[in-house]
């Protein structure tokens, strides 16, 4: 892979390694009454041949399709979710279940009011090298729209040219909605490929920031969008491993629609800008060797009522490719 050569050119930046963003995620449908449920086995396990260096954890209440009376999609209900992890036979952060907001230790993750409902940001701790002519494939889907409306969705990678040091942006915009581009997926979701996300220059780009933005309804008078409707999957062709950056083992304990693994909720991508909960792993983070991982258990504090919750969680970091 040529990126290794590029990475070797900037040892002060990459130490000769290639780093690729990774997001391990899953969703669990959490009933009321304090039942303890674990995320699918394998969700937070390294099932690849590369080491995975985790730096952040994310949680959010998923806003899936409407019409399920017993399920609450109120994002404030994240305050009623408790979590604990088991990592190397040790409970983290403690044996006691802890409300998810108390895991929130990332202090710089909130965007200004006008953007907070529509945009997520992820600033990579290690830059991702995008080859010349490499194509970023972004798949976007909506899961909560049943009208004929379309929403503009923007995706951008920001970075610098490896040789020139000039600012570079790879970006694409597409209108998505239930009424258009339905590729025969489940009726509640559409999936839309980006085709113009490529490095068209002649030098590699060190991508340092990922920005995704869901715009407001084109015909709405209220310009406030809601990115919680959207999910995304990303991978890079002709560069990196070619794997999707977001990986999930599948359905498991969830009762979500069959195509629920089409993408990770946008909240989960927003390490440096979202409305979810972000936990910065202490120190340098955790390194998952191939085959190793941790388990996560969650519990619903609501004792009764229509407060079943779809809790989605992710572990974020980067693949380390030598």
Residue whose C-alpha is closest to residue 77's, from 97, 60, 98: 60
Minimum gap (Å) between residue 156 Cβ and another protein: 21
Rounded distance between C-alpha atoms, residue 171 and residue 148, angstroms: 26
Residue whose C-alpha is closest to residue 39's, from 302, 317, 246, 294: 294
- Token pair recorded at residue 9: 């050119």
Q: Where are the alpha helices (DSSP H) in 27-141?
A: none
Q: Which is nearer to another protein, 17 or 92 (CB)?
A: 92
Q: Which is nearer to another protein, 31 or 99 (CB)?
A: 99
Residue whose C-alpha is closest to residue 171's, from 144, 198, 148, 147: 198
- Token pair recorded at residue 52: 């995975």
From the list 2-10, 44-52, 153-161, 219-227, the region that binds another protein by CB under 8 A is 219-227
282 binds another protein (CB under 8 A): yes
Cβ pair 241, 21 in contact under 8 A: no
Rounded distance between C-alpha atoms, residue 101 and residue 106, angstroms: 11
Minimum gap (Å) between residue 167 Cβ and another protein: 22
Minimum gap (Å) between residue 134 Cβ and another protein: 33
Cβ pair 295, 5 in contact under 8 A: no
Select the residue interacting with another protein from 4, 13, 37, 110 (CB under 8 A).
110
Minimum gap (Å) between residue 195 Cβ and another protein: 29
Q: What three-state secondary structure class fits 260?
A: helix
From the list 40-48, 160-168, 176-184, 217-225, the region that binds another protein by CB under 8 A is 217-225
Phi, psi of 124 (to 5 degrees): -70, 135
| Interacting positions 13-72 with another protein (CB under 8 A) | 63
Q: What three-state secondary structure class fits 317?
A: strand
Q: Which is nearer to another protein, 80 or 126 (CB)?
A: 80
Q: Which is nearer to another protein, 244 or 286 (CB)?
A: 286
Select the residue interacting with another protein from 21, 204, 215, 225 (CB under 8 A).
225
Q: 96, exposed or middle or buried, with CB in 10 Å at 0-12, 13-18, 19+?
A: exposed
Binding track, positions 72-101, relative to another protein; x by CB under 8 A: -xxxxxxxx-----xxxxxxxxxxx-xx-x
Number of chain positions touching another protein (CB under 8 A): 44
Q: Which is nearer to another protein, 134 or 308 (CB)?
A: 308
- Token pair recorded at residue 34: 């304090």
12 binds another protein (CB under 8 A): no
144 binds another protein (CB under 8 A): no
Q: Which is nearer to another protein, 54 or 135 (CB)?
A: 54
Select the residue interacting with another protein from 38, 111, 139, 251 (CB under 8 A).
111
Q: Which is nearer to another protein, 101 or 250 (CB)?
A: 101
Cβ pair 191, 183 in contact under 8 A: yes
Minimum gap (Å) between residue 50 Cβ and another protein: 23
Q: Give how far Cα 149 sits from Cα of 114, 146, 152, 217, 257, Å.
A: 22, 8, 10, 7, 22
Q: Which is nearer to another protein, 105 or 253 (CB)?
A: 105
Q: Where are the alpha helices (DSSP H) in the chain?
A: 2-9, 11-14, 266-269
Report how far Cα 155 is from the mean position of its chain's Cα atoms. Answer: 13
**What is the binding site for another protein (CB under 8 A)?**
63, 73-80, 86-96, 98-99, 101-102, 104-105, 107-113, 116-117, 222, 224-226, 228, 275, 277, 282-283
């Amino acid at each position: 892979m040529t990126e290794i050569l590029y990475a070797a050119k900037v040892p002060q930046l990459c130490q000769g390694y290639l780093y690729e963003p990774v997001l391990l995620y899953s969703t669990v449908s959490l009933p009321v009454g304090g039942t303890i449920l674990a995320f699918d086995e394998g969700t937070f396990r390294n099932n690849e041949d590369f080491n995975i260096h985790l730096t952040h954890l994310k949680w959010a209440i998923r806003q899936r399709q409407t019409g399920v009376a017993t399920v609450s999609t109120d994002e404030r209900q994240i305050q009623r979710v408790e979590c604990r992890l088991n990592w190397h036979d040790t409970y983290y952060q403690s044996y006691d279940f802890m409300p998810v907001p108390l895991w929130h230790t990332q202090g710089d993750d909130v965007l200004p009011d006008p953007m907070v409902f529509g945009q997520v940001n992820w600033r990579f701790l290690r830059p991702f090298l995008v080859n010349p002519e490499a194509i970023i494939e972004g798949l976007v889907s909506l899961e909560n729209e049943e009208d004929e409306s379309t929403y503009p969705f923007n995706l951008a990678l920001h970075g610098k040219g490896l040789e020139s040091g000039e600012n570079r942006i790879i970006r694409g915009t597409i209108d998505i909605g239930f009424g258009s581009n339905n590729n025969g997926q489940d009726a509640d979701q559409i999936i839309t490929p980006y085709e113009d996300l490529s490095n068209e220059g002649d030098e590699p780009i060190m991508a340092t920031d990922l920005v995704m933005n869901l715009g407001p309804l084109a015909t709405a008078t209220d310009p406030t969008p809601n990115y919680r409707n959207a999910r995304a999957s990303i991978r890079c062709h002709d560069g990196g491993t070619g794997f999707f950056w977001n990986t999930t083992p599948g359905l498991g304990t969830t009762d979500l629609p069959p195509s629920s693994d089409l993408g990770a909720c946008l909240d989960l991508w927003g390490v440096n800008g979202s409305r979810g909960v972000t936990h910065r792993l202490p120190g340098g983070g955790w390194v998952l060797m191939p085959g190793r991982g941790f388990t996560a258990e969650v519990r619903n504090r609501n004792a009764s009522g229509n407060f079943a919750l779809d809790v989605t969680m992710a572990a974020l970091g980067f693949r380390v490719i030598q």
